[in-house]
Structure 1
Amino acid sequence: MASNFVQYLRGSQTSPAERKLVQKLDFFILTFCCLMYFLNYLDRSNLTNAYVTGMQQDLGFKGNQLNQINTVFTVGYTIGQIPCNIALYYIKPRVFFPSCMVAWAACTMVTAAAQHPRDIMAIRFFQAIFESSTFVGTHYILGSWYTGSELGKRSGIFTASGLAGTMIGGFIQTGINSSMDGRHGLPGWRWLFIVDGIITLPVAIYGFFLFPDTPRNTQAPYLSAEEKAMAIARVPEVSERTPISMGFLKHCFSTWYWYFFVILWILAGETESFSTNSLLALYMNAHPTTKYTRAQKNNYPSGVPAVGIVSTLFWATMTDYLQGKRYLVGYWIGITGVITSALILAYPHSTSIHFGMYYWAGSVYACQATFFAWANDVLRYEEDALRAVVIASMNMGSNAINAWWSIVFYGANFAPYFTRGMWAMIAVSIAMAIWTALLVWMHVRTEKRREVEGVYDAEHVSHTHVDKKVDEVTAP
């Protein structure tokens, strides 16, 4: 088994031509998408860094205006999910993604000229709409190019790039702020927005010229005619229907996919609450007996996304190797949520237990890559528009719930023990495991129906068939 796994890591494609194709796709798709996601995070998270390094005083922030701005950003980010993914159906991704990057880079740079908190509030709303294209749009693109046995690893690498940004983004922004402070009469926090916006533009240009779009409309100069045909043959042919129609809406809401995957990601999103709400940092800040230094408060919580990166890459790779058994992560999440919360409740005064459980909880980040890969797997035979809407709706639903969930259960005023949040985590983790089982049942039913109807996954078709398909597409 070990030798089989090593061979799998090297690549599951048996044809040298197919391996070469996948290597090209990995380079041009993953480099662009990972850089885009990293910069997305950088341009999104710079507000807090600016706030604590002078913006609060310069613009006269009062009360909870920073929280209000973050809420407005969440609203814009939620609203933009479905329209952005539908836009990919009409606009080539190599045009749409870079255009969104230029737009949010412009918003970021304009923030440097803000004179009042309400200015930033308006800017961040539109910035959020443009940034909402990145996460769900990338998962849609990955599902368009990669087979089920390849998808998990690629989704994991993409997600890990965002977690890496969580780890090192603050250091980058602190360096910009301190080195540029006072240049040309501008405070460092204003330079922070300018520089963050500028460094986004080269990646947008790179994507415009070299991103390969989707298999059926790619004009990438580095793909030969045979490779373009092979890319089409590797994934199932699906029917096409315009997403802007009543017929499509009826079809979308008459299938089980939308309801099951949206609820799955709503539950999964809340099982990430320990990490996404920075509970370890809040615990340290409000610790009843120990006073941690500023460096400790910055450094110790970085272990949480580090665990997330390892867990994401492990589960993404493992579920690919196990032929797409993404549901295993749902059960892992259920176990993790119940045990970590129960131990924190049982040992409220044990600092080592709290640290250990918050680090372990970072492993839940694995659901980001695996659950979106799962949605791509299940919807592989459905029309692209439905897949795009379901994937976007998953993230939209999660953000809509999380906008108030974090306040109700994980507000800073509940630190250091977050008792209410611990019970909420136990409940949602159990619900996550149950819902995962229900989704597996629905998936199995659908697969049996497809077998009866004679629908087969392109991965299970012999390479002889793929080669024949390539010959048909490339024939003059």
Structure 2
Amino acid sequence: MTSMAKLRQYFHSEYQPGERALVRKIDFFILTFCCLSYFTNYLDRSNLANAYVSGMKEDLGFVGDQYNQINTCFTVGYVIGQIPANMSLQYVRPRLFFPSMMLIWAGLTMVTASVHAPGSIMAIRFFQGIAEATTFVGTHYILGSWYTERELGKRSGIFTASGLAGTMIGGFIQTGIYSSLHNRQGLTGWRWLFIIDGLITVPVAVYGYVFFPDTPRTTTAFYLTEEEKALAVSRVPTVEDKSPISWAFFKKVFTSWLFWGFVILWIIAGETESFSSNALLSLYLKSHPVNEYTVSQLNNYPTGVPAVGIISTLFWATLTDFLSGKRFLVGYFIGITGIATSAMILVASKDPTNPASTAIVFGAYYWAGSVYACQATFFAWANDALRYEEHMFRAVVLAGMNVGSNAVNAWWSILFYGASMAPWFKRGMWAMIACSIALAVWTGGLSYLTRKDEQRLEAEGAISSTRSRDGKGTSEEA
């Protein structure tokens, strides 16, 4: 098949009768809630960095690496909540579970406006991490339950991009709040940020209670007909679920190469996001060796990082769908990016007062934002590989990926990217180079194993029927 023919097939997939209307409905109701949820999730996470550079550091008397310690407390809570959250989706309707957790983290966000010491924020962020643990891996589980292999990458990309939009817009929100509400009603601008971010989350949770459709086999959504519900079930492989709470199940999980392959993949890949997830550009600007930046500049300049991440995420998610799910290509791209951007910053640190040094650092951190593409593509890759496994196994692997990554990140960020190491984070640059090399190597090995497993399933005839529906139907053109 020629490249042009593949391109035409990609944009003009054929569906079963009624399938196009079903996909449009679930796109609207699932993606609107999941994306708005993740948007507010990242808005609530990124506001700590925005507040830190907008006066919170001075008002609360931060010293040393207390900023990183707060992030570690959040991460510990996030790790604790991951697997229980995804397992809970087997017993509690997602339509109730997701919005309820949102209301909890919205309340904790608003409570942060009342704190008077860094230690109070540490306690709040710990419990906030537990509540927010439901969103990322839970949504990837839901997406894998509704969408076919051909559709999944783009939807995962849109979902991930919504979180990056929350990070990007958070800077602009803080700038607007600081200029319009600073010292209004006796509250500083950074305190208003937490209040407003929490309030933004509440209506999204209410929307989820009403419209979120659960999973194909449990949905009672009023906007889906009985025929559409049956079609939704038929679109994804039928998997026989066994009792998940058993020694046999956990033995299967912890002895499976699928579990360890994807968990270690995301542990390494998660650390390649360290430049962005630890707000290093913000900390660099705050501790710049020459320049003094205004509060608006400190909040606005770093928004270019998630902006690049959004473009990269959507590009790679769409491209890997077009290339029939070759998600592993992103691992090689990120490996190159991590090595190059780290080297750029190390070179810039040799002549810190040179204006060209600042330009190089900006370019490096903006380019580094493109590594966010691995979130959508690697979780889509895991969903693809686990499509024929029982649902609880897939849920635990997806959660385990994020547990492993965040368990390492809890201490990794302090060891390599502590705020006291600003502005150059030289130790972190070398750690990034090592992670980037490791990611390329691990990606190569895992892609070999998943390809062999796919060939085995094809030989057994397990994937022929669903593949035929994955863009090769005969009745209705999209």
The TM-score with structure 2 as length reference comes to 0.89
CA offsets, 1:37-82, max 9 Å, x none? 1111222333444455565666666665444333211110111111
1:5 aligns with 2:25: no
Which of residues 416, 426, 433 in structure 2 aligns to 1:426? 433
Counterpart of 2:112 in structure 1 is 111
What is the Cα deviation at residue 297 of structure 1?
Answer: 3.9
| C-alpha distance 256-128 of structure 1, shift in aligned 2 (>3 A) | same
Provide the secondary structure at the position in 2 that maps to 1:89: coil
Residues 72 and 411 in structure 2, CA contact (< 8 A), matched pair in contact too = no
Counterpart of 1:471 in structure 2 is none
Which shifted more, 312-321 or 427-436?
A: 427-436
Counterpart of 2:447 in structure 1 is 440
Counterpart of 2:229 in structure 1 is 228
Aligned counterparts of 2:269 and 2:216: Cα–Cα separation in 1: 31
Counterpart of 1:31 in structure 2 is 32
Residues 233 and 458 in structure 1, CA contact (< 8 A), matched pair in contact too = no
Which of residues 359, 378, 381 in structure 2 aligns to 1:374? 381
Counterpart of 1:365 in structure 2 is 372
Counterpart of 2:133 in structure 1 is 132
What is the Cα deviation at residue 251 of structure 1?
Answer: 1.3
What is the Cα deviation at residue 200 of structure 1?
Answer: 1.5
Unmatched 5+ residue regions in structure 1? 469-476
Provide the secondary structure at the position in 2 that maps to 1:382: coil
Which of residues 445, 450, 457 in structure 2 aligns to 1:450? 457
What is the Cα deviation at residue 6 of structure 1?
Answer: 5.6
Identical aligned residues as a percent? 66
CA offsets, 1:358-386, max 9 Å, x none? 32222111101000000000000001111
CA offsets, 1:389-435, max 9 Å, x none? 11111111111111222222233444444333232222211111110
Which shifted more, 282-291 or 15-24?
A: 282-291
Residues 263 and 394 in structure 1, CA contact (< 8 A), matched pair in contact too = yes
What is the Cα deviation at residue 245 of structure 1?
Answer: 2.3
Aligned counterparts of 2:186 and 2:326: Cα–Cα separation in 1: 57
Residues 236 and 457 in structure 1, CA contact (< 8 A), matched pair in contact too = no
Which shifted more, 418-427 or 282-291?
A: 282-291
Counterpart of 1:305 in structure 2 is 306
Counterpart of 1:43 in structure 2 is 44
What is the Cα deviation at residue 205 of structure 1?
Answer: 1.2
Aligned counterparts of 1:443 and 1:405: Cα–Cα separation in 2: 29
Provide the secondary structure at the position in 1 that maps to 2:221: coil
Residues 33 and 208 in structure 2, CA contact (< 8 A), matched pair in contact too = yes
Aligned counterparts of 2:329 and 2:472: Cα–Cα separation in 1: 32
Counterpart of 1:473 in structure 2 is none
| C-alpha distance 359-464 of structure 1, shift in aligned 2 (>3 A) | closer
- For CA contacts below 8 A with separation 6 or more, give which structure has more relative contact order: 2
Counterpart of 1:326 in structure 2 is 327
| C-alpha distance 181-279 of structure 1, shift in aligned 2 (>3 A) | closer
The TM-score with structure 1 as length reference comes to 0.89
CA offsets, 1:333-356, max 9 Å, x none? 122222333344456445244333
Residues 15 and 474 in structure 2, CA contact (< 8 A), matched pair in contact too = no
Residues 230 and 466 in structure 1, CA contact (< 8 A), matched pair in contact too = no
CA offsets, 1:437-474, max 9 Å, x none? 11011112212322333311553235999899xxxxxx
What is the Cα deviation at residue 167 of structure 1?
Answer: 1.0
Counterpart of 1:402 in structure 2 is 409
Aligned counterparts of 1:340 and 1:66: Cα–Cα separation in 2: 24
| C-alpha distance 293-458 of structure 1, shift in aligned 2 (>3 A) | farther
Residues 35 and 163 in structure 2, CA contact (< 8 A), matched pair in contact too = yes
Residues 86 and 388 in structure 1, CA contact (< 8 A), matched pair in contact too = yes
| Residue identity opposite 1:406 in structure 2 | S
Provide the secondary structure at the position in 2 that maps to 1:423: helix
What is the Cα deviation at residue 128 of structure 1?
Answer: 1.2
| Residue identity opposite 2:410 in structure 1 | A
| Residue identity opposite 1:152 in structure 2 | G
Provide the secondary structure at the position in 2 that maps to 1:455: coil
Aligned counterparts of 2:471 and 2:347: Cα–Cα separation in 1: 59
Aligned counterparts of 2:371 and 2:65: Cα–Cα separation in 1: 30
1:19 aligns with 2:20: yes
Aligned counterparts of 2:290 and 2:185: Cα–Cα separation in 1: 45
What is the Cα deviation at residue 175 of structure 1?
Answer: 3.0
CA offsets, 1:12-31, max 9 Å, x none? 34345211111111110111
Counterpart of 2:199 in structure 1 is 198
Residues 156 and 313 in structure 1, CA contact (< 8 A), matched pair in contact too = yes
CA offsets, 1:220-258, max 9 Å, x none? 111111111111111001121233222211111121111
Aligned counterparts of 2:378 and 2:338: Cα–Cα separation in 1: 17
| Residue identity opposite 2:202 in structure 1 | L
Aligned counterparts of 2:299 and 2:34: Cα–Cα separation in 1: 28
Aligned counterparts of 2:175 and 2:299: Cα–Cα separation in 1: 12
Aligned counterparts of 1:196 and 1:464: Cα–Cα separation in 2: 40
Residues 234 and 466 in structure 1, CA contact (< 8 A), matched pair in contact too = no
What is the Cα deviation at residue 126 of structure 1?
Answer: 1.4
Provide the secondary structure at the position in 2 that maps to 1:243: coil
Unmatched 5+ residue regions in structure 2? none
Counterpart of 2:338 in structure 1 is 337
| Residue identity opposite 2:455 in structure 1 | K
Provide the secondary structure at the position in 1 that maps to 2:89: helix
Aligned counterparts of 1:319 and 1:188: Cα–Cα separation in 2: 42
| C-alpha distance 464-369 of structure 1, shift in aligned 2 (>3 A) | closer
